[in-house]
Amino acid sequence: MQNSCLAIILAAGEGTRMKSSTPKVLHRVAGLPMVGHVIETAKEADVDKRVVVVGVDSRRVKTAIAEIDSECEFSIQQQQQGTAHAVLTADTWLKQNFEHVLVLNGDVPLITKESLSTMRQKLRQGADLVVMGFETDNPYGYGRMLVENGQLLAIREQKDASDEEKAITFCNGGVMAFNGRVAHEVLQAIDNNNAQSEYYLTDAVELLHNMGKSVVAHKVDKEETLGINNRVQLAEVENIWQQRRRKEMMLAGVTLAAPETVYFCHDTEIAPDCTIEPNVVFGSGVKVAGNVSIRAFSHLEGATIGKGAAIGPFTRLRPEAELLEGAKVGNFCEVKKSVIGQGAKINHLSYIGDASIGAGSNIGAGTITCNYDGINKHHTDIGKNVFVGTNSSLVAPLVIGDGAYIASGSVITKDVPAGALGIGRSKHVNKDDYAAKIRGRNAATKARRTREKPD
Ligand code: UD1
Ligand code: CA
């Protein structure tokens, strides 16, 4: 198949060092299971078919991956007999004459599409196998790359390496790109005649070399090859991912005052000319249009923000919060599943849930939409140019018409027609000179208590 590419993604490992009931490859980096990063990158590098090798008892892994990539296929490795054995479980696809076959690791999520594209380029230029390699001061545990005159002769695993080979610092990053015409044949030729009695994928190098084929290395930065085996490495990879994305965001026109304190999700979209203050966290599904200001200590998830809107400091936007152009949500406000109209303002200390607020409305401090009766959620519909006085409880279901006023401190339980004033509280009264009476009564009580307890 002309220009076609198959990727086989190894994910059958148990990941016991994560000490988790969640399979290793489902632990998240930037909110996406680590294997999802590998799948997404493969797609970006124009991989046509993606097959993930999973272990037995992999229902959770399959379900999670299907949500990320509905076209992904699976092969099952019953027993862990080595990386070549794992790849061969996908032989149904290996036999299908793809032009290129990539082998990726589900627990190495920082691989870039540029590297995959370069490796595929090298295949087009005549290589039959391209192996991703990296330099390290501490090569212990990695397969060592034996290179001579630009050709990769073999990869020697730690347990099989001589002292001389152990001194080599150029190591196998675990990612390979095969010419599709040789992949299946060479993988089948691999035996398990080694220190671990495993079928080593890395043996493909020596076999192809001995067949007179061209095998080359593609050197990348070590961080691209970082694998995750425990939660310390998970945090390291998360940190590198965040650094990369912060840089991309800034280069794409987003101002980050303190980049190292802003956390993005894998799917965060922010248009140019937005400004993000320190300590802002993005959960999944956030889209921000241009010229938006997000002030310090805000947390956003599943929110859509229109042009020129202003958020924070200390704002929480929850899923399906939608701010239209120029809307403003200020400090200590929470918004969930609500549309905030153009130029509308919720400046302080409010909870707005299951509501729609028309353009130009002003929601006073301490306003709460009482959306939940203990069983069902109800909607609050606030029209345009409505003024809601401070500390109002709006008991849903409720409709407040355009231009209405709500008296502060109200508990509003009935619809308020357009243009009306809604008041839902007892009337204020003054009792003249009553303060002195209260003070007199308090003084008498205090004197009596002192008499009754002399010591
Ligand atoms: C492998 C390479 C080594 C390289 C290193 C980079 C081989 C023989 N060695 O070593 O040269 O430097 O990666 O990290 O390939 N897996 C399966 N089924 C198996 C065995 C492994 O799915 O039967 C999966 C694992 O889950 C993992 C990946 O393959 O995702 C690599 O396996 P791992 O055991 O980590 O290989 P290493 O010994 O680290
Ligand atoms: Ca490994």
- CA distance linking residue 234 with residue 228, whole number of Å: 6
- Under 8 Å between Cβ of 352 and 367: yes
| Nearest alpha carbon to residue 352 among 308, 400, 306 | 400
**Quick check: CB of 52 below 6 Å from ligand 1?**
no
**Quick check: CB of 9 below 6 Å from ligand 1?**
no
Residue nearest to atom 22 of ligand 1 (CA): 12
Per-residue confidence (pLDDT) for residue 1, from 0 to 100: 66
Mutate to test the pocket of ligand 1, among 53, 76, 83 (most ligand atoms within 8 A of CB): 83
Residue type, 224: E
pLDDT tens for the chain, 455 residues: list them.
667 999 999 999 889 999 999 999 999 999 999 999 999 999 999 999 999 999 988 999 999 999 999 999 999 999 999 999 999 999 999 999 999 999 999 999 999 999 999 999 999 999 999 999 999 999 999 999 999 999 999 999 999 999 999 999 999 999 999 999 999 999 999 999 999 999 999 999 999 999 999 999 999 999 999 999 999 999 999 999 999 999 999 999 999 999 999 999 999 999 999 999 999 999 999 999 999 999 999 999 999 999 999 999 999 999 999 999 999 999 999 999 999 999 999 999 999 999 999 999 999 999 999 999 999 999 999 999 999 999 999 999 999 999 999 999 999 999 999 999 999 999 999 999 999 999 999 999 999 999 998 66
Tell the residue number behind the tokens 């918004």, with chain if given: 335
Q: Helix, strand, or coil here: 239?
A: helix
Ligand with smallest separation from the Cα of 158:
1
Domains defined for the chain, CATH in brackets: 5-225 (3.90.550.10), 231-422 (2.160.10.10)
Entry pTM = 0.94
- CA distance linking residue 445 with residue 388, whole number of Å: 43
Residue nearest to atom 21 of ligand 1 (CA): 83
**Quick check: CB of 369 below 6 Å from ligand 1?**
no
- CA distance linking residue 422 with residue 389, whole number of Å: 10
**Quick check: CB of 202 below 6 Å from ligand 1?**
yes
Per-residue confidence (pLDDT) for residue 453, from 0 to 100: 84
Q: Ligand 1 centre from 173 Cα, in Å?
A: 10
- Ligand 1 atom at minimal distance to the Cα of residue 142: 12
What H or E segment, with its residue span, contains residue 216? strand 215-219
Alpha helix segments (H runs only) across 45-142: 59-68, 83-88, 91-94, 113-124
- Under 8 Å between Cβ of 393 and 376: no
- CA distance linking residue 369 with residue 379, whole number of Å: 9
Alpha helix segments (H runs only) across 53-179: 59-68, 83-88, 91-94, 113-124, 163-166
Phi and psi at residue 8, to the nearest 5°: -110, 120
**Quick check: CB of 86 below 6 Å from ligand 1?**
yes
- 369, with CB counted inside 10 A (0-12, 13-18, 19+), is buried
| Nearest alpha carbon to residue 361 among 394, 380, 388, 334 | 388
3-state secondary structure 309-348: CEECCCEEECCCEEECCCCEEEECEEEEEEEECCCCEEEE
Q: Ligand 2 centre from 229 Cα, in Å?
A: 7
